[in-house]
Structure 1
Amino acid sequence: MTKKENAVKPPAEGLASQNSMQNKLPEAPSVDSFQTTSGANTASTPGTSQVERAASTNEKVAIPRHRPSTAPRYSRRVPRACESCRQRKTKCSGDIPHGVERFPPNSVTLPGELSDEPSSPSSIGSLDGIDRVEEDLNRNEESRAAGFMGKISEVTWMQHLQKKAKHCSQGSSGSLEHGQSKSHEDEPALHATNYHSDEVDISCPEPVEVYAVPPPQLADRLFDDYLKTVHPFFPIINRRLFTAQYRTFFDSNAQPSDKWLAIMNMIFAIGAQYAHLTRAPWRGEVGDHLIYLTRARILSVNGDDLFSHPDLQQIQVEGLVAFYLLSTDQINRAWRISALAVRSAITLGLNLKNNSPTTPDVAKEARYRVWWCLYTLEHLLGTMTGRATYIVGVNLTTPLPFPFDEDQLSEPMAAETFRDTHLRDERINNVMASTSVRHMPLHPTRGAETTHSASIYDNSWVKSLPFSFSLGHLYYCDLALIVQEIVNKVYSTDCVMLPWAHILQRIGELKVQLDQWYQCLPEHLNLSENKDNGSDPLRCKLALNLHYLSARITLGRPCFCRRDPQKRKIDEKSTFNHNMAELTLQSAKLMLDLIPDEPNVIELYEISPWWCILHYLMQAATVILLELSFGSLMMPEHVTSSVVYSKKSLRWLYAMSAHSIASRRAWQLCDISLRALAVNIGFNVDDMPSAPYYQSVPTSALANPHSHMAPKGSRPGSTERWNSVLEDVSQAIVQHPTQYPYWDYSNVPTTDPTPSVMVKSHVSDEHYSPYDPISGAFIRSFFPQLSEDDQP
């Protein structure tokens, strides 16, 4: 058997190739086929008598210049306007394909999915409303806190799910009757289905000592938790250098800059949030993470700093603030700060390749990693909110992160490639799966043959590397680039003007790239590799595969929800549209298969990307509940398993809601939907946990309204149970598609013996900053002497 035959197949590989005749996509119609041409394209010519007279005398005839005539404008009317024009309340000429019912005369259609019939009014997969806002988001504080949520967001899916649950509770069918118009009046407001907690206040009710720090024992715990759980997936700081600076700060009378202190406080804030979620016995008082956040805001995210020109430390502060807000379910606030951090990074050119001869290679790599942290964070927030990020791949020349940790860069295996930019391109940048995506045409013309269009790259060098979190981060960034292309090409506002056939072509091309990414995974990052290599590879595997399954849900969601309530023919189940719908549902179930059946929240937070695990669970739960709400029209054989998986997701959400307001809201929304669907479909929910519903979210993040809901399980001692879970999922993928006082360090100056929240240091950032204001290099005046390789 050849090496190619031994390659691990991606989940549901062959969806686009099986039943090839039915799955072939029509070629994209040419631009000319959408244009209206005039019957006369030539200008008038001289009269016959003049030509004859000129010919008889052998004189030259002046031929007038050929002027292209303007096509006449027709005020043609059609008997029935398309869905998009009815929504816009505009005239429909029938010339431009506003919806799926308009196609050029010569285009080829697939049975059932590309017919002349209008799309289902109940379809949330049709992207008709992607270019408009259906409600006034400025009307009150709640709507402004939630903000706009696009079609890609699970909050929008939940909005439609709640509408269907309401129909079910009223005794009507979950699906609208064919021909019934869409009505947004009975849809719940977006903020009513938003499970995030942006309306929760994040300010401290009492004055804060700006330069106070926790005692060394607590500080070390917070710092270690951050380095262990967050830094491997978000390496926005240079671990080796910052650790040395951190030790110097606590062991000597060093006086760091306000920005450095802000970075440290944000690390403490993120670590404190994690400690509370995992119920660590050494955790600080309730709401202590808000105190760290407030200090960082005063030190480096106040009005003066926001109006100053950014430097690298300021970018790190802004990125850490955005990440903290994400981890505390403040998604709207995280979105705004993340955009600020990205703009600051672009200001310093971090989105471009650095060829400066005066900047050390290690410093360049540190800046590259800062950029990719911001990029992946912005991408994640864009996926969660459904908002456009406007970071286009063609504007990025930053090399992908190097797959070695900071302390490994001097090793022989890494040094050769690290210092040779051409070799780095050859072995890394030009062989990852996102390479072809970055050069993919916006309008592919061979969508029907997408299974043959994927480029094959020699990534043997990357796949041969030993495990490291930096290697996992490389593949995470590679996948983020592909998913961002999905957002840009399937959920962009131009899709409302495209026929469904063209969108399917884009989906087919992008599915090939997702499959290629999965095939390029090294063995120690692949789910099919069942060896127990310890907790670190397990955590990396879980994070990558959650991201991958989330990407498949994002890609197939328009197909999943695009259905006609009328009965389908049996042979139409072999269409590409149906296969992608089944892939979406399968991905949601596989995502839930990644976690054990019995909820243990502390284990989940310790082994998974805890800052966004709620997002992944809500994606899976909403997709499965949507399938039940549609009555399993396309996949009736999945009803029983869908009920089982929906109950599993709700049990996990209920367990997580013990100490998370957002999780409590998510559970409540899903529980309402599940119970309404149970009445309509006829399944039992007596085995499900129950609790009183909250009418509104507490306005203070310091409140702990869920103390009566004790978390299940204890802190784990091994990862054996999780390894067995991942082993089961890998087979499915291959076979199927206490309180501490705060210390005030005397070496940190203050201007008031009783400092309050407004206290500001007299120490100049410019004087004590570890960065040179001109070259950007570190000034190690108050840090230990380090080698050149330790520079960021």
Structure 2
Amino acid sequence: MEDALGSHPFGVAAPNETSFTLAPENSAFGGIAKQPWFPESPREVVPVAFCPSSLLDFVDRPGSYSYPFPSSSSREVPGSVGKVAIPRITCASSQSQVRRCTRACGPCRQRKTKCDGNKPVCRPCVDHNVSCFYTDVKRVRDRKQLSVLQRKVEQYERLLHDLEEVEGNVARRIQTALRGSDTTSATADDGDFDSANSSIGSLNGLNLVQEDLNRSEKSVATGFFGKDSEVAWMQRLEDEAKNRSWRKAESLDSEATKAVRIRLPLPCSQTQRTEISAITFYLDDISLPLLDSVDPYGLPPKGLADQFFTAYVESVHPSFNFVRKTALVSQYQRFFSQPTHPSRRWLAILNMIFAIGCRYSQAVNGRADGDYDDLVYINRARKLALDETHIFKHADLHQIQVEFLMALYLVSKYQINRAFMFSGMAFRSAISLGINLRFVDGQTEYPAKEARVRLWWSIFLLEHLLTAITGRASCVGESLSATRLPISFEEEAFGRPDIQSLFQDSESRIDRLKLTLLQTEEEARASVSWLASCEPSPSLFFHCIVDLGAIGQDVINNVYSIRGFHDCGSQIERQIQKYCCILDTWLSKVPEAYRFTSVNSDEVDISSDNN
């Protein structure tokens, strides 16, 4: 007995581990894989929670199964018990389930309450009568915010590139920020600025006067020539040639010759610059004779007067429309046909026209004697409107025209310094009468208003010409003028309905007569088609030349000036690029009749070069 039961606790033998398995034939667990009922080791027992839902697929119908009872003689189950009913486990109804939304609305998130996710308005927000809104998820929100920041950065960079009138330190900081460099590279940028500034050698010395111009009568008559003038360029060329010649001779000299040269004075190029009065080819040092014996009311013969008058109208007037041509021609014909007594200033204008026409005839015919002496007409004009009794009188339109014509005449005489003085007088007189502003008086006729516009732009062109010749500072610029460009039609066509509508419609006049400097790309394209439809005429030429002169004067004011001297190299380069684009735009607007191109192979074709 001890042998039979001593090895088993409680006197019961353990069932056979290998044979005690569930019978899969009639079992309700037929879908479960066969595994031993007991694990091999007690440590490997893993407690499993009872989960009825895992049995739903297998407990469709209660079935009978056999339970083996241990036996000392046999481990087979002697019989089977009755079927045991297992109740069906049903799932919870869908109505009792709470649907979880993927994203709650903003108010529900703030209140920390459940949200049903209905859009555009959820039920809790309707119950609480609050505004319902849904925010993007963080990834979408970050992507949108990044896109907004990127657009802002691009806008700021364009704004920084457009900044021109800033100090050197500010400009340096702006470029450093645009390059996205740190403190270390900022030091390198400073060196880049210095090298860029040094590379623009043509602008160095713009703020300097390197000789005493009050030293002699000749230097006073010559006056100052800025570094961007052709006379100053010739002066630098002369000095550089002398310096190179001196260095070359010094390198070829022997030691003995060098010792002798040490005791000799240095050449002029080594001690001082060549005087500007010795280089200039203008004739300001030649005085204009004042003829007191001339009769201010004298006139040339009718044939000669017609010749001078026609020469001026055909050769000078297209470039400088300082007066209404139709009114001037009508007054001229009436003056010689009827005994009238015009004003002294009108007679001064007529004599100035004779003087300029005489200068043109002298250049064509080669005569400068008798009635071809322009000094006679200029002295008549001086006595009529520019003597000591009239110079202190207040200037009217006729006086402005006299001063302008005197400056133009002096340019034809190569008296640039004197012409600069009279041009300044005409400029100041025009400013005093508001000629540079838009004239909107309802009582003045449109041709008279257009005449004032052309007078202002004629003064502007002459001032620009003298500024470019002398390299001196000028107060004219596009910011000083509020007048529109002159109309590109002759005065005889002002009565046409389309031109009358241009006079009356201020918006159309503003769009079509805006300077290229101030136009957008869309406005420039519209101007191209409009100017192409205009008939070729002196007025159309004057319109285009004024537009070009405004660009040139803006370049002088912003690059070749004290303002440009204080700018860094990168700023000047950007300005030059900007003006190159503006000039290309102006060129695209020039009508075909004034495009100086040629089909000959030996001449330059501007249009082909630009393409």
Is 2:571 the partner of 1:502? yes
TM-score (norm 1): 0.50
**Root mean square deviation, CA, Å:** 3.4
Find the aligned partners of 2:187 and 2:533 in 1 and give their Cα distance.
45
Give 1:132's match in structure 2, choosing from 208, 213, 217.
208
User: Do 1:272 and 1:284's aligned partners in 2 also have CA atoms closer than 8 Å?
Assistant: no
Which residue of structure 1 lines up, in the alignment, with residue 36 of structure 2?
Answer: none
Distance 1:359 1:262 in 2: 25
Q: Tell me how far 1:302 sits from its aligned partner.
A: 1.6
CA distance in structure 2 between the aligned counterparts of 1:287 and 1:336, rounded to whole angstroms: 26
How big is the shift at 1:165?
A: 2.5
Aligned in 2, Cα 1:199/1:475: closer, same or farther, shift over 3 Å? same
Cα distance between partner residues in 2 of 1:529 and 1:414:
33
Q: Please, which of 299, 313, 318 is the counterpart of residue 227 of structure 1?
A: 313
Shift of 1:332: 0.5
SS in structure 2 at match of 1:172: helix
2:213 paired with 1:145: no
Q: Could you tell me which of 182, 194, 198 is aligned with 1:119? A: 198
Q: Which protein has the larger Cα radius of gyration, Structure 1 or Structure 2?
A: 2
Give 1:305 shift: 2.1
Matches for 1:404-423 after TM superposition, within 5 Å: 404-423=489-508
The 5 Å alignment of 1:458-497 reads 458-459=526-527, 460-497=529-566
Change in Cα spacing, 1:115 to 1:343, as seen in structure 2 (3 Å) is closer
- Distance in structure 1 (CA, Å) of the matches to 2:397 and 2:561: 32
Percent identity of the aligned residues? 35
Aligned to 1:593: none
Contact 2:168 / 2:568 at 8 angstroms: preserved in 1? no
Gaps spanning 5+ residues in structure 2: where? 1-159, 176-182, 250-268
The TM-score normalised by the length of structure 2 is 0.64
Paired residues of 1:400 and 1:428 also in contact (CA < 8 A)? yes
Q: CA 1:299–1:117 in structure 2 vs 1: closer, same or farther (change >3 Å)?
A: closer
2:196–2:569 Cα contact (<8 Å) kept:
no
Deviation by residue 1:481-533 (Cα, 9 ceiling, x = unmatched): 11111011101212332221111111111111111111111111112376xxx
2 CA distance for matches of 1:186 and 1:137? 14
The structure in which a higher percent of residues are helix is 2
CA shift, 1:455, in A, is 7.4
Residues 117/469 of structure 1: CA separation in 2 closer, same or farther (3 Å cut):
closer
Which residue does 2:299 correspond to in 1? 213
Aligned residues: 425
Pick aligned residue for 1:372 from 452, 457, 463: 457
Distance 1:309 1:735, change over 3 A: same
Give 1:184 shift.
7.9
Q: Which residue of 1 aligns with 2:241?
A: 165
- Residues in 2 aligned to 1:458 and 1:318: alpha-carbon distance in whole angstroms: 38
2:167 and 2:586 map into 1 onto residues whose CA distance is 35
In 2, Cα distance between equivalents of 1:223 and 1:107: 66
> Mapping of 1:233-632 within 5 angstroms?
233-279=319-365, 284-285=369-370, 288-429=373-514, 432-436=515-519, 456-459=524-527, 460-528=529-597
Instruction: Answer yes or no: is the 8 Å Cα contact 2:309–2:357 preserved in 1.
Output: yes
The answer on whether the counterparts of 1:134 and 1:184 sit within 8 Å (CA) in structure 2 is no
1:109 Cα shift? 8.8
Q: Match for 2:551: what amino acid?
A: I
Alpha-carbon separation, structure 1, partners of 2:532 and 2:187: 41
Alignment check: 8 A CA contact 2:524 2:589 kept: no
Moved more, 205-214 or 258-267: 205-214
Residue of structure 2 in register with 1:444 after alignment: none
Rate the CA distance shift 1:269–1:507 in 2: closer, same or farther, 3 A. same
Per-residue CA deviation, residues 385-409 of structure 1 (Å, 9 max, x unaligned), is 1111112322211111110111111
8 A Cα contact 2:291 2:376, kept in partner: no
> Counterpart of 1:272 in structure 2: which amino acid?
C
CA distance in 1, matches of 2:173, 2:220: 39
Q: Is the 8 A contact 1:393 1:481 kept in 2?
A: yes
| Alpha-carbon spacing, 1:358–1:29, altered in 2? closer, same or farther (3 Å) | closer
C-alpha distance in 2 between matches for 1:294 and 1:518: 42
CA distance in 2, matches of 1:33, 1:322: 39
Aligned residues of 1:109 and 1:501 also touching (Cα < 8 A): no
Letter in 2 for 1:147: G
- Provide structure 1 residue ranges, at least 5 long, that are not aligned to the other structure: 1-25, 37-93, 98-103, 174-182, 438-452, 531-723, 738-792
Q: Indicate the SS of the match to 1:306.
A: coil
Aligned with 2:447: secondary structure? helix
Structure 1 window deviating more from structure 2 (157-166 vs 255-264): it is: 157-166
CA distance in 2: counterparts of 1:382 and 1:169, whole angstroms? 33
Indicate conservation of the 8 Å contact 1:153/1:385, yes or no.
yes
Compared CA separation, residues 736 and 355, structure 1 to 2 (3 A): closer
The one-letter amino acid of 1:501's match is S
Change (3 A) 1:422 1:299: same
**Contact 2:488–2:540 (CA<8 Å) still a contact in 1?**
yes
SS in 1 for 2:429: helix
Q: Which amino acid aligns with 1:417?
A: L
Residue identity in the other structure for 1:231 = H
CA distance in structure 1 between the aligned counterparts of 2:522 and 2:230, rounded to whole angstroms = 30
- Structure 2 letter corresponding to 1:132: L
Aligned twin of 1:202: 288
How far apart, in 2, do the equivalents of 1:405 and 1:35 lie?
A: 50
Residue matched to 1:700: none
Deviations 1:548-599 (A, max 9, x none): xxxxxxxxxxxxxxxxxxxxxxxxxxxxxxxxxxxxxxxxxxxxxxxxxxxx
Q: CA deviation at 1:146?
A: 1.0
| Aligned-residue offset at 1:34 | 2.3
